[in-house]
A and B are shown apart, each in its own frame.
Chain A
Amino acid sequence: MAGDTHKRKNDVASINEDYATKYGFHDPVDYFHKGAKGINHKVVEMISKMKKEPRWMTDRRHEALDIFLAQSIPKWGNTKVLSEIDFDNIYYFMKPIEKQQDSWDDVPEYIKKTFDKLGIPDAEQKFLGGVSAQYESEVVYHSMQEELKKQGIIFLDMDSGLREHPDIVEKFFGTVIPAGDNKFSALNSAVWSGGSFLYVPPGVEVKAPLQAYFRINAENMGQFERTLIIADKGSRVHYIEGCTAPVYSTNSLHSAVVEMIALEGAYIRYTTIQNWSRNIYNLVTKRSQVHKNATVEWVDGNLGSRLTMKYPCMQLVGEGAKGEILSVAFAGDDQHQDAGSKVIHAAPNTSSRVTSKSISKGNGRSTYRGLVKVHKNATNCKVSVECDALLIGEDARSDTYPTMEVDNDQVQVEHEARVSKVAEEQLFYLTSRGLTEDEARLLIVNGFMEPFTKELPLEYAVELNRLIELEMEGSVG
């Protein structure tokens, strides 16, 4: 074990030195069910069998795999980087030896240490409604306050959700994002493992935010978590998840699916900050269905990764539905954040607001790709899209591809897009007050992100600022 750890440390150090000291932490885990690399029907059958799933789920997995194998990779976005992915060189399932834990005391020390670095214990003590932290492909720690149970709230990892509430899962799973939506949602539907399952009964208000943390921690391991959130009529909930990843030498695939359903009059806020190590392909599909007079707010921060392709989507399907997406993407050297949003207005009197902020540094690249679709029957809609890009350095790049398809004329549309650079005058003003150029640049970047940061719970805001500070170190030139 010690030798193994030592070897891994060397791996980390030799690969991406400064990144390792910044975020590089990973703990020795004894991979019990590491399985083999590559994907085929045998693997899918094995995953489903090991989880003792009902037959309908097994069948769905097989169908999804057929779709995945039949589809080619997207012909848009960063096709060059996408084509680097070697699907045969990825583990599609693994399970740590540690069984799911009931109490904090039972959580292994090395996992706690990792959480420490993420600042989780504080969050836990302060206001947690419940924690479920995914370690590897499965949730190893899960605590739920008695109060949640009393209110009838179900907050489980997805595997347990399927075991304990197959009826609810069968009713909603894959209804917002069918397996055939795209190649990566098909892959996720075939091999998914872990993720969160959250159901809030009618009229119930969840006062404290519910949190889940995800990490990837195995070389070449794909992670395919699946999250399903259902807010029943008139309920309210704030769900938070954040990720940081340890450093590994070979490329790794993260392909999650998140489905959210806000039934009549319900309110969901979904907050996520993802910070992947620089070798990860982060290709996720996230979508919410917003029913009559319901509201979904999406607060989405993306850092790290080799390539992120992520376009949270809101389908406003009921009259009076409201949707808001606020996102930030930070693209450092050799990174491409291809992010954006999709909003579908499919009912009258619906409104949406998209605020997208991106920062590109060094040779980093950010792309905003957005679609607003207003159907013919969706009269009296309000649409607002604002894209704001900040470039740091001469080689940084930002592209904006907004698409608007409006099929009726009773719609109020606002659209704004801005690209700015850190201006010399701003730098001089701040340095003339005693800040070094690095400090000045960091302050400007933090200010740029402020509309996003102020929507985060304090711990997350602090963590995000710290991550940005690390990203900005030595950014001169």
Chain B
Amino acid sequence: MSHNNALLDFENVHVKVEDKEIVKGVSLTIHPGEVHAIMGKNGSGKSSLSNALAGHPAYEVSSGTAFLDGKNLLKMSADERSRAGLFLAFQYPVVIPGVTVANFMRTALKAHRGQDADMSDFRKLFRAEMKELGVSPDFATRYLNDGFSGGEKKRIEILQMAMLKPKIAILDETDSGLDIDALKKVAEGINRFHSDQTGILMVTHYQRLLDYVKPDFVHVMIGGRLVKSGGPELALKLEDRGYEWVEAEMSQGSGK
């Protein structure tokens, strides 16, 4: 059952992609105000977990339970999850030709609010958020992710998060492809968004985003399982020593 007042709470989640099990029983509870990080190498299953939680139809949750703010996540479609307060910042944001960032943003806000946003309120908010993220105003009229650099795409993801104000944000490799300035801007954006009402789950290979967005909990994912959890110091240790020592610990553990 759902934990009291948890924003995101999932238990023993298994995820299949094309009938192959990628995530093999993962449990996590995120309360309001908490920042969690799942760290793992490529292929560890962390992006599959993110996609499955956001409702990607190709990622099937074959068993387990998941609740978003007390509601059964697994019974909701991707758009219902979004409107219920879940946000996924994509590792590879998708190009939508011919749809401007501003038009897309208004359409998404309308979907969330059930009515058109007031045009001048929208503009004010949108411009302010773009400015905060160091996004040039001409991006408003550019086609969504079309010809954007990696860093620009990630900033636009964070811009969307800031505008949609989810309860829980899953950030899938948001730091990848960013130079240090872009990384700082993105991190500032995440920190501005975060409050004691919101939860964040960062999914990352590297520790460097965690220098700027401080996690309360760090989890290590290997082979589709969360094998180790700890505080921020765990991330530093991973950065310092790589994932091998965790793997070594595991095999020792299983050898006993």
A residues with a Cβ closer than 8 A to B are 423-426, 428-437, 439-440, 443-444, 446-451
Residues of chain A within 8 A of B87, CB atoms compared:
432
The answer to whether A433 and B55 have CB atoms under 8 Å apart is no
B98 in the interface (beta carbon within 8 A): yes
For the complex formed, measure the closest distance between the CB of A392 and the CB atoms of chain B, giving whole angstroms.
15
B54 at interface (Cβ–Cβ under 8 A)? yes
Asked if B164 and A446 make an inter-chain contact with CB atoms under 8 angstroms apart, the answer reads no
CA distance A428 to B94 in the complex (A): 9
Interface check B97, CB cutoff 8 A? yes
B243 at the interface (CB under 8 A from A): no
CB pair A428–B57 under 8 Å, yes or no, is: yes
Q: With the chains together, A423 CA to B90 CA distance in Å?
A: 16
Q: How far apart are the CA atoms of A435 and B112 in the complex, in Å?
A: 8
* Chain A: minimal CB distance from B74 (Å): 16
Known: A428-B57, A443-B104. Is A433-B98 also a contact (CB below 8 A)?
no
For the complex of A and B, the 7 pairs showing the least CB-CB separation, nearest first, are A447-B98, A450-B98, A447-B99, A434-B111, A434-B82, A429-B94, A431-B78
Closest A residue to B58 by CB, please name it: A424
> A437 to nearest B CB, angstroms?
7
Docked pose: A444 CA to B88 CA in angstroms:
20
Among residues of B, the one whose C-beta sits closest to the C-beta of A442 is: B107
Q: Is B41 an interface residue (CB 8 A)?
A: no
B52 to chain A, nearest CB (A): 12
Residues of A within 8 A of B93 (CB): 429
Partner of A444, one of B90, B99, B160, B164: B99
- Please tell me which one of the listed residues B78, B94, B98, B143 contacts residue A449 in the complex, with CB atoms under 8 A apart: B98
Chain A residues with Cβ below 8 Å from B108 are: 433-435
17 CB contacts below 8 A, A to B, read: A423-B94, A424-B58, A428-B54, A428-B55, A428-B94, A431-B79, A431-B82, A432-B78, A433-B111, A433-B164, A434-B111, A439-B107, A439-B111, A444-B99, A446-B98, A450-B97, A451-B98
Report the separation of the CA atoms of residues A328 and B54 in the bound assembly, to the nearest whole angstrom: 35
Most buried by A among B58, B82, B88, B96: B96
B96 A430 Cβ-Cβ under 8 A = yes
Q: Which of A434, A448, A450 contacts B83 (CB 8 A)?
A: A434
Min CB distance A416 to B, Å, is: 14
List the A side residues contacting B58 at CB < 8 Å. Answer: 424
Contact of A434 with B164 at beta-carbon distance under 8 Å, contacts A428-B78, A444-B96, A450-B98 already known: yes
Q: How far is the CA of A97 from the CA of B107 in the complex (A)?
A: 47
Residue B75 lies at the interface, judged by CB distance under 8 Å to chain A = no
- B77: A residues at CB distance < 8 A: 431, 437
Chain B residues 58-93 with CB under 8 Å of chain A are 58, 77-79, 81-83, 87-88, 90, 93
Contacts A424-B58, A429-B90; is A435 near B99 (CB within 8 Å)?
A: no
| B79 adjacent to A434 (CB under 8 Å) | yes
- Asked if B56 is an interface residue, CB under 8 A from chain A, the answer is yes
Contacts A432-B55, A434-B164; is A448 near B97 (CB within 8 Å)? yes
Name the A residues within 8 Å of B107 (CB-CB): 435, 439, 443
Minimum C-beta distance from B196 to chain A (A)? 24
Say which residue of A425, A435, A443 sits within 8 Å of B79 (CB atoms). Answer: A435
- B109 to A, closest residue via Cβ: A434
From residue A451, how far is it (CB to closest CB) to chain B in Å? 7
Interface size on B, residues (CB 8 A): 29
CB-defined contacts of B98 to chain A, threshold 8 Å: 446-451
CA distance A432 to B53 in the complex (A): 11
Beyond A437-B79, A448-B97: 18 further Cβ-contacts under 8 Å? A423-B94, A426-B96, A428-B54, A428-B56, A428-B57, A428-B94, A429-B94, A429-B96, A431-B78, A431-B82, A432-B79, A432-B87, A433-B111, A434-B164, A435-B107, A435-B111, A446-B98, A446-B99
1/0 per position for B104-133, CB-CB distance to A under 8 A?
100110011000000000000000000000
Q: Given the complex, which residues of A lie within 8 Å of B164, measured CB to CB?
A: 433-434
Chain B 148-167 near chain A by CB (<8 Å), digits 1 or 0: 00000000000010001000
Residue ID in chain B nearest A438 by CB atoms: B79
Decide yes or no: A432 and B82 within 8 Å by CB, A443-B104, A449-B98, A450-B98 being known contacts: yes
Q: CA–CA, A439 to B95, complex, Å?
A: 17
The interface residues of chain B lying within 8 Å CB-to-CB of A451 are 98
- Is B78 a contact of A426 with CB atoms below 8 Å? no
Report how far A403 CA is from B95 CA in the complex, Å: 31
A428 CA to B82 CA, complexed, in Å: 11
CB-based contact A436/B97 at 8 Å: no
Taking CB atoms, residues of chain A closer than 8 Å to B104 are: 430, 433, 443
Q: Closest chain A residue to B146 by CB distance?
A: A447
What residues on A are CB-neighbors of B99 within 8 Å? 443-444, 446-447, 450
* Interchain CA distance A451-B58 in the complex, whole Å: 32
Q: Contacts A426-B96, A447-B96, A448-B98: A433 and B82 contacting too (C-beta < 8 A)?
A: yes
- A454 closest partner in B (C-beta): B98
In contact, B79 and A436 (Cβ under 8 angstroms) = yes
- Residues of chain B lying within 8 A (CB to CB) of residue A428: 54-57, 78, 94
